[in-house]
Amino acid sequence: MIFRPMALVGKPAADVIAKAAEEKEVDMILIGGHGKGLSKLLMGHVTEKVIGKAHCAVLVIEKEK
């Protein structure tokens, strides 16, 4: 299994992530589950949308408490 990190820029973020995953023919997206403060709300929202839009499996990594 090969992991290749990607940094993407664009809006809406979930669309950019899902489109890049499809174009690169990835088998799985690894994405963070929560940030802090306002970013917690936004990251949760983006993560949920990626799950709904992705053509492949999505593994959500929660921050250790």
22 lies in a domain?
yes
- The pLDDT assigned to 56 comes to 97
Domain tally for the chain? Answer: 1
Report in angstroms the alpha-carbon separations of 50 from 6, 9, 11, 65.
Answer: 15, 15, 13, 23
36 lies in a domain?
yes
49 lies in a domain?
yes
42 lies in a domain?
yes
- The pLDDT assigned to 36 comes to 57
List the domain range (segments joined by +) for residue 39. Answer: 13-61
8 lies in a domain?
no
- The pLDDT assigned to 27 comes to 96
Hey, what are 26's tokens?
């990835």
- The pLDDT assigned to 25 comes to 95
State pTM to two decimals: 0.78
How confident is the prediction along the chain (65 residues), in pLDDT tens digits per residue?
A: 788 899 999 999 999 999 999 999 999 999 987 655 555 555 578 888 999 999 999 998 877 66
